[in-house]
Structure 1
Amino acid sequence: MQEPTFVLVHGAFASSFSFAPLQAELGLLGHRSVAVDLPGHGFAATFPRAYQAPQDLAALAAEPGAVKGVTLADNAAHLIGILERAKRNGPVVLVSHSRGGMTATVAANQRPDLIDRLVYVSAWCPVDLPVGAYYAEPEMATVDNAGLASAMAGNPAELGLLRCNFRTGDPGVLAAFKAAFLADGTDEEFLVLLNTFQPDENLDVGTPDDRARAGSWGRIPRTYVRLAGDTSVPPAMQDRMIREGDALTPQNPYDVRTLPGSHLKWLVDPAPAARLLAEVAAM
């Protein structure tokens, strides 16, 4: 049997850089992997000069960004191109985290032939509702977005993108970020992680047609990795994603796994996740 290629899709304000420690662990276990930069991310991202210290917040609120106008459809088309190349080398395990689950789901809807297993790690896989609608549901009631909101720069409608000042020195905002992303990490780990974030993210979350489809997405074997201490996508919402997917294709339910830790702890301490992914790939 050919060894699979893990294709890794990042979440919001992130990039392929997030996966470097996980890729090292996968490599040491003998597995190859490809970390994707979605359009406008990684070295294609915009880091305005006003974002550097000393910051010019007024300029930061107005400078254009490369991710403006990028759509979920653009993300999916980019990912499909990578999956096509990866598939030439054997089986493909598509792993998505957080907002990256939306892109993975659209790609799976369109090209299930390119994916041998889907793995969602505390990721969005909308079935019953469009992604935006889930934020008003009871499972998201515990999520505190105050830190993110207070660090937003500029008007998204005018910029055509979301821009967040992750380089703020405001102690309250930094504490809110840590609580949301890495409450179980050290302050040093948190600051290192925060400095891997990029300031801009695209606005588009797709359409109701971008929800999981039984006839294509539903044919692919899939795993959902719950993050038990996640406060950004709470376990209650993760469990709802699982229930909805299982109800859509009861003949092909999720293989459910659980890792301890926050939304980003699995990337900071990646050895358990690498072992889990290796087990899943061998199924």
Structure 2
Amino acid sequence: MTPVFRTSRRPRPVREANPTFVLVHGVCSSSLMWAPVQRELALLGHRSFAVDLPGHGFEAQYPAAYQAPQNLDAWAAEPSKLAQVTLQDNIDMVVDAVGRLAEHGPVILVGASLGGTTITGVGNTVPDLVSRLVYISGWSCVQRANPIEYMQEPEFGDNLLAPLAALNVGDPAELGVGRANYRTADPVMLAALKASMMADGTDEQFRAFLNILQPDESLAVMTADARGHADTWGTIARTYIRLTDDRSLPVAMQDRLIAEADALTPGNPYDVHTLATSHVGFLLRPAEVAKILDGLTV
């Protein structure tokens, strides 16, 4: 006789029209970064879809000269597949995914860091297909056109990115991309990178994260006009998750982005939540992130 296993735990009720969370990564990253959050969302009964933007994930470029032993001179001259990728390419890819997922229920679009520019563009393009926009320390541009312009503002002054210029390989103007040597063995550079990105993690956690990054990111994506428009993007419910210990996109700049958006659409302000983490430290606390996202579906 086949044994029957029972559990005393009752299944969680299934909500009507359970949404799909579409997760958009930031600079030099991929869908892999979202794995901890996706696990927690699944435990709460939610569907999620993590995007690999064009030229990211398994489309990423890892030349032999980037491997160990590295040949930085050869790598500096290596053309980049991302040089031709634009912000519109990113937006078009996510619009296609949102359109297909919307056939199965509401869509909540989540963008971290530079991923915020893509979800803003999607909101401008198909506002009727997006139930909510969620920015996790994300670039939500309104007054200035793009992150590069905002980086010249006083609210960005608390960032720790300046020393990281030494990580750059090649001429961005010639390559069409920013190229960072995330496989450096320089302890000073590694310490500076950790302080800017994941100061709240262990060295082991930081190195694990570093090894899922890809070295190139398109300059065209970072310099395009990424402003949200009041009559499209501004009509969508939106949430901002502030990261108070962020030294890549300082909390003062996050608060400015929130304030500018609220001024643009005073009748549709941000729903604001706060976590005391670094720029990518929220990935080390995925249950808390998933709890916030879960609360948006009630």
| Length-normalised TM-score, structure 2 | 0.92
SS at match of 1:6: strand
2:206 counterpart of 1:190: yes
Out of 141, 145, 152, the residue aligned to residue 157 of structure 2 is 141
Report the Cα distance in structure 2 between the residues aligned to 1:147 and 1:90, rounded to whole angstroms. Answer: 45
Out of 99, 108, 131, the residue aligned to residue 114 of structure 2 is 99
Match of 1:113 in 2: 128
Q: What residue ranges of structure 1 are gaps of 5+ in the alignment?
A: none
8 Å Cα contact 1:4/1:90 also seen in 2: yes
The Cα shift of 1:171 comes to 0.6
Match of 2:31 in 1: 16
8 Å Cα contact 1:93/1:115 also seen in 2: yes
**Structure with bigger gyration radius:** 2
Out of 178, 181, 193, the residue aligned to residue 162 of structure 1 is 178
The Cα shift of 1:206 comes to 4.8
- Structure-to-structure mapping, 1:1-283, within 5 angstroms: 1-131=16-146, 132-204=148-220, 205-208=222-225, 210-282=226-298
Match of 2:11 in 1: none
The Cα shift of 1:281 comes to 2.3
SS at match of 1:108: helix
Report the Cα distance in structure 1 between the residues aligned to 2:102 and 2:29, rounded to whole angstroms. Answer: 25
The Cα shift of 1:29 comes to 1.1
- What amino acid sits opposite 1:84 in the alignment? G
Report the Cα distance in structure 2 between the residues aligned to 1:195 and 1:3, rounded to whole angstroms. Answer: 34
Report the Cα distance in structure 2 between the residues aligned to 1:79 and 1:136, rounded to whole angstroms. Answer: 29
8 Å Cα contact 1:86/1:92 also seen in 2: yes
SS at match of 2:282: helix
Report the Cα distance in structure 1 between the residues aligned to 2:61 and 2:284, rounded to whole angstroms. Answer: 24
Q: Residue by residue, what CA displacement relative to the aligned partner does 1:75-97 show, whole Å, maximum 9, x if unpaired?
A: 11111011111111100000000
8 Å Cα contact 1:73/1:206 also seen in 2: no
8 Å Cα contact 2:21/2:107 also seen in 1: yes
The Cα shift of 1:59 comes to 1.1
8 Å Cα contact 2:160/2:195 also seen in 1: no
8 Å Cα contact 1:146/1:176 also seen in 2: no
8 Å Cα contact 1:214/1:249 also seen in 2: yes
Report the Cα distance in structure 1 between the residues aligned to 2:183 and 2:129, rounded to whole angstroms. Answer: 39
8 Å Cα contact 1:39/1:70 also seen in 2: yes
- What amino acid sits opposite 1:183 in the alignment? A
Structure 1 segments of 4+ aligned residues over 2 angstroms from their partners: 205-208
Q: Residue by residue, what CA displacement relative to the aligned partner does 1:174-215 show, whole Å, maximum 9, x if unpaired?
A: 00100000001101100001111001101113544x311000
- What amino acid sits opposite 1:274 in the alignment? A
8 Å Cα contact 1:147/1:174 also seen in 2: no
The Cα shift of 1:67 comes to 1.0
Q: Residue by residue, what CA displacement relative to the aligned partner does 1:66-125 show, whole Å, maximum 9, x if unpaired?
A: 211100111111110111111111000000000000011011011101100000000001
Report the Cα distance in structure 2 between the residues aligned to 1:88 and 1:177, rounded to whole angstroms. Answer: 41
Q: What residue ranges of structure 2 are gaps of 5+ in the alignment?
A: 1-15
Over the matched positions of the two proteins, sequence identity in percent amounts to: 53
Report the Cα distance in structure 2 between the residues aligned to 1:261 and 1:195, rounded to whole angstroms. Answer: 20
Deviates more, 1:31-40 or 1:65-74: 65-74
Deviates more, 1:63-72 or 1:185-194: 63-72
The Cα shift of 1:65 comes to 2.0
Q: How many residues align?
A: 281
The alignment yields a C-alpha RMSD, in angstroms, of 1.0
8 Å Cα contact 2:240/2:258 also seen in 1: yes
Q: Residue by residue, what CA displacement relative to the aligned partner does 1:14-45 show, whole Å, maximum 9, x if unpaired?
A: 10000011111111111110000110000011
SS at match of 1:88: helix
Report the Cα distance in structure 1 between the residues aligned to 2:119 and 2:219, rounded to whole angstroms. Answer: 17
Report the Cα distance in structure 2 between the residues aligned to 1:175 and 1:7, rounded to whole angstroms. Answer: 32
The Cα shift of 1:146 comes to 3.0
8 Å Cα contact 2:34/2:283 also seen in 1: yes
8 Å Cα contact 1:119/1:224 also seen in 2: yes
